[in-house]
Each structure stands twice: as C-alpha cells, then as structure tokens.
C-alpha cells in the first residue's frame, strides 16, 4: 500500500522517532504547529477514526494508554491537546489514522 505513514512506521521514510513498540509509532510532525507537535499512529493501516470498530478498538485504547508517556517524554508539563482529523471536511491530509499531540504553549478555546 502506498501510504506515507505506513512507510514511516516501517522505517522506509525517515522521521524523528519519539516512541515505538510492536503496535504503535510516534514521531515529530514535519511542520509543527506548536512547540510540541507529535504524531502517534498505529503501525497497522487504519484510514481514519471512521474505521474504528470492535476489531481494532483495543489498539486505539493502547494508543491512548501510551499518549501520557509520549507527551511527558516530549517535555509537556502543563497540558496538551489531542486531535485526530478524519476526512475531507476535517482537512485530513494523510489517510492513515493519527493523533496529533500539541503542547508546550497555552492554546485558545477555539478548536475549528
Ligand atoms: P492531518 O492534516 O491531520 O492529516 O495531519 C497530517 C500531518 O502529517 C500534518 O501535520 C503534516 O505536517 C504531517 N506530515 C506530513 N508528512 C510528514 C512527514 N514526512 N513526517 C512528519 N510529519 C508529516
């Protein structure tokens, strides 16, 4: 499958890795929108949140179990925002499920 994030998770395209285990890969966003901007992805291809179901929800839970550790390792100490864009109206640009961790500065209450 010709998927950018599948290739990053496989090490075929370089990235700044932050965390990896057998199921999950986390790396720095190439165009950070906050002092901390890290992406967390399942290694297995899932296009977006619309494809989460009972066959893969344990993997999503695992990602959320790891996010606090990943955020802490990136130096976030005062809170962070988790965003997952899904589909065209959300401006998803890479069709592989990912969770943005944004932090390191105070953010506005506006989310869209
Ligand atoms: P989204 O718009 O929610 O699909 O987010 C995709 C994110 O991937 C954007 O924030 C991009 O800056 C980021 N991105 C695209 N290509 C790369 C790459 N090669 N390495 C790291 N981040 C990337």
Ligand 1 pocket check for 84: Cβ under 6 Å: no
Distance from the alpha carbon of residue 99 to the mean position of ligand 1, in angstroms: 10
Ligand 1 pocket check for 90: Cβ under 6 Å: no
Q: Domain ranges in the chain?
A: 4-103
| Domain 4-103, CATH number (from 3.30.750.24, 3.40.50.720, 3.30.428.10, 3.30.70.20) | 3.30.428.10
Is 98 a catalytic site residue? yes
Mean pLDDT of 72-89: 97
Confidence tier at 66 by pLDDT (50, 70, 90): very high
Is residue 21 over pLDDT 80? yes
In whole angstroms, give the CA distance from residue 55 to residue 111: 30
If phi > 0 it is left, if psi is from -120 to 50 it is alpha, else beta; for residue 76 that is beta
Is residue 63 over pLDDT 80? yes
Query: Across the chain, what does the average pLDDT equal?
Result: 97
What pLDDT is stored for residue 1 in this prediction?
77
């Amino acid at each position: 499958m010709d998927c950018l994030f599948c290739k990053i998770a496989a090490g075929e395209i370089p990235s700044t890795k932050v965390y990896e285990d057998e199921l999950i890969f986390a790396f720095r966003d190439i165009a950070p929108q906050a002092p901390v901007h890290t992406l967390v992805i399942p290694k297995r291809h899932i296009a977006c949140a619309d494809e989460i179901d009972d066959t893969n929800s344990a993997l999503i839970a695992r990602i959320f179990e790891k996010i606090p550790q990943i955020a802490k390792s990136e130096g976030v100490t005062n809170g962070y925002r988790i965003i997952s864009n899904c589909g065209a109206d959300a401006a998803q640009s890479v069709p592989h499920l990912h969770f943005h961790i944004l932090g390191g500065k105070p953010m506005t209450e506006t989310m869209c």
